[in-house]
Amino acid sequence: MDSGQRGTILVVEDEKKISDIVRVYLEKDGFRTVVADTGEKAIKSLKEHFDLIILDLLLPDMQGEELCSLIRESSDVPIIMLTAKSGEEDRIRGLGIGADDYVVKPFSPRELVARVKAHLRRTRKSEKIRSFNNGALKMDAANYEMKKGDVMVTLTPTEFKILLALAEKPGRVLSRLQLVNMVQGYNFEGYDRTIDAHIKNLRHKIEDDPKNPTLIKTIYAIGYKFIGTPDEN
Ligand code: CA
């Protein structure tokens, strides 16, 4: 199987021996892997999309818990924690830091890969295709694809995230700042007015008449609201 066909996994682990083993096993199974050996490198690499994150609890520059809650501020990517000492598993269970699973070292790489696959199966099932206005707009969040009717429309990742953030809360007004926080994540360069420029481009791509939008409505002085109607499925 080609590397990366199954998805991309971020491995945050400072012990090279361990990250090497994890990487080899994941790649053997068709995953693409990115390894970060510090918390700082992990945060930097988060601009890329990952299907799952394997996160060591003890990093040289940061606690895994801290990194986990940071990731959770902007993403619900599945996280599997690697813990070294007995007792750490109790900490994870007790802290409710947003990890989806944990594996205690020393662990079987095969078991870790099996858990990775189980989590991905679960997420993929929940990422169903969203359809609005009798199929006029369809969004496939798992593949970053959008269709207007039957025509595939190319959106930039930021446009896609803005549209998804709005479409997930039909009828609810989101302020520009809320949208910046929801779509930019760790990319702090965004200024809330840049949202207006993205919305303008989005409307040209998704609305029949961008001047009379039927999907994204401007709420004067506040932000935007998704006014499409979700289809029953
Ligand atoms: Ca460590």
Average pLDDT over residues 57-61: 92
**Mean pLDDT along residues 185-210:** 80
Last residue within a domain, chosen from 121, 142, 176:
121
Say if residue 152 is in the same domain as residue 112. Answer: no
**Span 165-182, average pLDDT:** 87
Instruction: Report residue 128 as tokens.
Output: 């169903």
2 domain-assigned: no
Does any domain span residue 231?
no
**Does 206 score more than 90 pLDDT?**
yes
**83 alpha carbon to ligand 1 midpoint, in Å?**
8
Query: What is the tens place of the pLDDT at every residue in 2-12?
Result: 445 688 999 99
User: 28 is in which domain, residue-wise?
Assistant: 7-121
Q: Whole-angstrom Cα distance, residue 25 to residue 6?
A: 13
Residue 172 counted as domain residue: yes
Q: Could you give the residue ranges of the DSSP H alpha helices within the chain?
A: 16-28, 39-45, 64-72, 88-95, 109-126, 157-167, 176-184, 194-206
3-state secondary structure of 133: coil
CB 198, CB 158: distance < 8 Å: yes
Q: 57 CA to middle of ligand 1, Å?
A: 6
For residue range 96-137, list pLDDT tens digits in order: 777 888 888 889 999 999 999 998 887 766 667 889 999 899
Distance 37 CA to ligand 1 centre (A): 9
Q: Give the chain's mean pLDDT.
A: 86
Model pLDDT, residue 182: 76
Greatest mean pLDDT among 17-31, 58-72, 86-100, 146-160 lies in 17-31
Is the domain of 13 the same as that of 115? yes
- 173 is a domain residue: yes
**105 lies in some domain:** yes
The per-residue pLDDT for 4 is 57
Task: Pull the structure tokens for residue 198.
Answer: 């993205």
How many whole angstroms from 90 Cα to the centroid of ligand 1? 17
Distance CA 145, CA 151 (A): 11
Same domain (yes/no): 134, 222 = yes
- Of 121, 137, 164, which marks where a domain is finished? 121
Integer Cα distance of 189 and 205 in angstroms: 24
- Percentage with pLDDT > 90 across the chain: 50
What is the predicted pLDDT for the residue at 203? 96
Residue 14 located in a structural domain = yes
Instruction: Note whether 78 and 158 are same-domain residues.
Output: no
- How remote is the CA of residue 19 from the centroid of ligand 1, in Å? 10
Tell whether 117 and 149 lie within a shared domain: no
Q: How far is the CA of 63 from the centre of ligand 1 (A)?
A: 9
Q: What residue type is 219 in one-letter code?
A: I
Q: Which residues surround ligand 1, an ion (CB under 5 A)?
A: 14, 56, 58
Q: How far is the CA of 52 from the centre of ligand 1 (A)?
A: 19
pLDDT for position 205: 95
Domain total in the chain: 2
